[in-house]
Amino acid sequence: MFSSQQRTDSIREAQGKVFDVLIIGGGITGACAARDAARRGLSTAIIEKNDWAFGTSSRSSKLVHGGLRYLELYDFKLVFEACRERRRLLMNAPHVVWPQSFIFPVYKGDKNGLFMIDLGLWLYDSLALFRNVQPHQFHGAKRILWVEPGLDRSRLKGGGQFYDCSTDDARLTLSHVQSAASEGACCLSYTGIADFLDKAGMVCGARVVDELSGAEFDIEARIVLNCTGPWTDAVCRLDDPDALPKLRPTKGAHIVVPWESLKAYNAMPIISPADARMLFIIPWHDYVLIGTTDTDYDGDYDTIHASTEDVDYILEAADRAMPDARLDTSDVISTYAGLRPLVVEEVSKDVKESKVSREHSIYESHSGLISIAGGKLTTARSMAEELVDLGVKRLEERFGMRPSSRCSTKDAPVQGADGHDFSKRLERMAGKIRLDGDTIMKLQLLGTGALSVLDIIHDDPSSQRRLGKEIPYIEAEVTHAAREEMVVNLSDFMVRRSLIFYEDREQGLGCMDRVAAILAKELKWDKAEKARQLKDYRGVVALSRAYKT
């Protein structure tokens, strides 16, 4: 079981043991590294100061993509790698990664005309070794309007149609952590680093804090990998107070609107009239994501949110692309914002944020701390492979250790995708219980984990009740999340195990008492703790709505 009880057991396990590898950071890169290391036979521990995927890894544009716009920066190596990893994710995590049709509209007066966009899409296909879901097609204005009738027809000249992938980024991360745990990794959420342990001038573990109880304890390890994304510099300064900054963090904000308000049949890049930056309109379940902004950020990382300026900027770009929709703030269901941990290298502040490379870098301090910075959600697996390769090299040099196997994550399904035809099996079993289609669609995001939800319903038929009339999640999913997905707080379920925070017009405020009651039973909360959880979640929703004030 991957539960809060397992977390408690793992805390006991972590004390008095020396791990081969300690990974700090439970976002997608850390999760991939933990899975990779554990599969190589290394004793592995991973800590995360909040919930899994709490930071950047749950606040992306929900795309697994090759990075078409990076062709304009001549970043062919990154695009090739991303296209290769996109295909692997589609094969290894089909429950949380799925094909997404895109169009690339070309308008009168655009910097790049029809020929250049067609040429760019041919290059995109070739960098994917022509292994995309389908090869791109190029059409005139009439055909593009047939597949996407809401575009500005007064300016449209034509465009291309191609495929990338969409994802549930938080669940993609969770699947990798669960996979690491199934391979024997010790996985601790809500466990932050207080300081590093030192032996003869070399990092040999960390002093950590249980964020739930406040207790401190040591985790010893032969090597330590820093995978903390935007927090990389802060963690590096614990090791070396004089460490130079490695990151240029930028804020990316998104808004979510109902599909009925913006009838986008395909994802598409759009251009901001304010600064000519590229954003995306992305159909996502029964909703549409629009974003992202890309601005330098020096505020509080833990309270980052979409501002009034961010929302206005996004709405202006969407209105220019699909003017008949006439979007305004009344259409916005939710907003969210995250930080991109862009690598500094020698980039001047005069360079626009969107021009900074999305490639990653690996750094090693004099005391042996190995840090990774930059990169993309799509390429996290290959980044982790490179990082663990270096860690293995240091284990051999310093301790004479060699793992039992090499990297084996390229073709290995993650947890949730480790069964055959689970989708058909789920539909067949859910049909017997008579779950509605919307609920079945949400359950499919759990992959084979959905089968344990059905087991809960079998034991307690009343648990198939919806959490709300307009909310396609059922009580059994909350129970499952507590028992199998290491939910510790109410926000863990509302924001990262379900999509209620993003998709419900009330952002879950109407059903949170019901969810909290189920979690209170499973996690043994008293009345005071339940009240605190409800208050904290109201704060999360308020931050999402801060743009209104």
Give yes or no: residues 203 and 300 share one domain: no
Measured between alpha carbons, how far is residue 74 from residues 118, 210, 279 in Å? Answer: 16, 45, 19
The predicted-structure confidence for 184-205, as pLDDT tens digits, reads as follows 999 999 999 999 999 999 999 9
Phi, psi of 402 (to 5 degrees): -135, 125
Instruction: Please give the biggest Cα pair distance in the chain.
Output: 71
Whole-angstrom distance, CA of residue 535 vs CA of residue 532: 5
Whole-angstrom distance, CA of residue 502 vs CA of residue 498: 9
Whole-angstrom distance, CA of residue 283 vs CA of residue 16: 49
247 forms beta bridges with 343
Neighbours of 44 (CB within 10 A): 28
Measured between alpha carbons, how far is residue 87 from residues 59, 69, 164, 172, 469 in Å? Answer: 22, 18, 9, 15, 37
User: Which of 270, 287, 288 is closest to 279 using CA atoms?
Assistant: 270
Give yes or no: residues 13 and 44 share one domain: yes
The predicted-structure confidence for 58-103, as pLDDT tens digits, reads as follows 999 999 999 888 888 788 999 999 999 999 999 999 999 999 999 9
Say if residue 420's pLDDT is above 70: no
Whole-angstrom distance, CA of residue 357 vs CA of residue 374: 8
Q: Are 542 and 506 in contact (CB under 8 A)?
A: no
Domain termination residue (choose one: 274, 306, 341): 341
Q: Band of the pLDDT at 433, cuts 50, 70, 90?
A: confident
Give yes or no: residues 362 and 218 share one domain: yes
Measured between alpha carbons, how far is residue 1 from residues 6, 14, 87, 416 in Å? Answer: 7, 17, 30, 14
The predicted-structure confidence for 310-351, as pLDDT tens digits, reads as follows 999 999 999 999 999 999 999 999 999 999 999 986 544 443
The mean of the pLDDT values for the chain is 94
Give yes or no: residues 382 and 307 share one domain: no
Q: Is residue 350 part of a domain?
A: no
Amino acid residing at 323: P
Q: What pLDDT is recorded for position 345?
A: 63
Number of domains in the chain: 3
Give yes or no: residues 242 and 268 share one domain: no
Q: Is residue 104 part of a domain?
A: no
Tell me the DSSP string of 27-76: SHHHHHHHHHHHHTT--EEEE-SSSTT-SGGGSS-SEE---GGGGGGT-H
Q: Are 377 and 176 in contact (CB under 8 A)?
A: no
389-95-383 Cα angle (round to 5) = 20
User: Which of 457, 406, 494, 443 is closest to 39 using CA atoms?
Assistant: 406
Q: Is residue 513 part of a domain?
A: yes
Range of the domain at 444: 422-548
Amino acid residing at 288: V
Helices (H) and strands (E) in the chain, counts: 17, 20
Give yes or no: residues 427 and 541 share one domain: yes
Give yes or no: residues 241 and 253 share one domain: no
The predicted-structure confidence for 484-513, as pLDDT tens digits, reads as follows 999 999 999 999 999 999 999 999 999 999
Q: Is residue 139 part of a domain?
A: no
pLDDT above 90 as % of the chain:
87
Give yes or no: residues 429 and 522 share one domain: yes
Averaged over 249-255, what is the pLDDT? 97
Q: Is residue 80 part of a domain?
A: no
User: Which of 496, 471, 476 is closest to 486 using CA atoms?
Assistant: 496
The predicted-structure confidence for 368-407, as pLDDT tens digits, reads as follows 999 999 999 999 999 999 999 999 999 999 999 988 889 9
User: Which of 426, 492, 442 is closest to 173 using CA atoms?
Assistant: 492
**432 or 347, higher pLDDT:** 432
For residue 229, what are its two tokens? 């994304």
In 79-237, DSSP assigns E strands to 97-107, 137-140, 156-167, 186-188, 191-199, 202-210, 216-226
Whole-angstrom distance, CA of residue 497 vs CA of residue 518: 15
| CATH number for the domain that contains residue 429 | 1.10.8.870
Rounded to two decimals, the pTM is 0.95
Give yes or no: residues 446 and 544 share one domain: yes
Q: Strand 18-24 relative to strand 216-226: parallel, antiparallel, unpaired?
A: parallel
Q: Are 403 and 392 in contact (CB under 8 A)?
A: yes
Q: What pLDDT is recorded for position 357?
A: 46
Q: Is the peptide bond before 439 cis (omega within 30 degrees of 0)?
A: no
Phi, psi of 164 (to 5 degrees): -130, -155
CA 396 to chain centre: 33
Amino acid residing at 320: R
Q: Is residue 174 part of a domain?
A: yes
The secondary structure of residue 414, as a DSSP letter, is: P
| CATH number for the domain that contains residue 268 | 3.30.9.10
Domain termination residue (choose one: 315, 341, 367): 341
Give yes or no: residues 229 and 253 share one domain: no
Q: Is residue 484 part of a domain?
A: yes
Neighbours of 544 (CB within 10 A): 22
The predicted-structure confidence for 19-40, as pLDDT tens digits, reads as follows 999 999 999 999 999 999 999 9
Residue ranges of alpha helices (H) inside 93-218 are 114-127, 141-147, 169-182
pLDDT above 70 as % of the chain:
95
Give yes or no: residues 233 and 266 share one domain: no
Give yes or no: residues 194 and 333 share one domain: no
270 forms beta bridges with 279
Averaged over 205-214, what is the pLDDT? 98
Q: Is residue 453 part of a domain?
A: yes
| CATH number for the domain that contains residue 384 | 3.50.50.60
User: Which of 349, 301, 275, 352 is closest to 59 using CA atoms?
Assistant: 301
Q: Are 57 and 350 in contact (CB under 8 A)?
A: no
Averaged over 225-241, what is the pLDDT? 98
Q: Are 538 and 509 in contact (CB under 8 A)?
A: yes
Q: What pLDDT is recorded for position 352?
A: 41
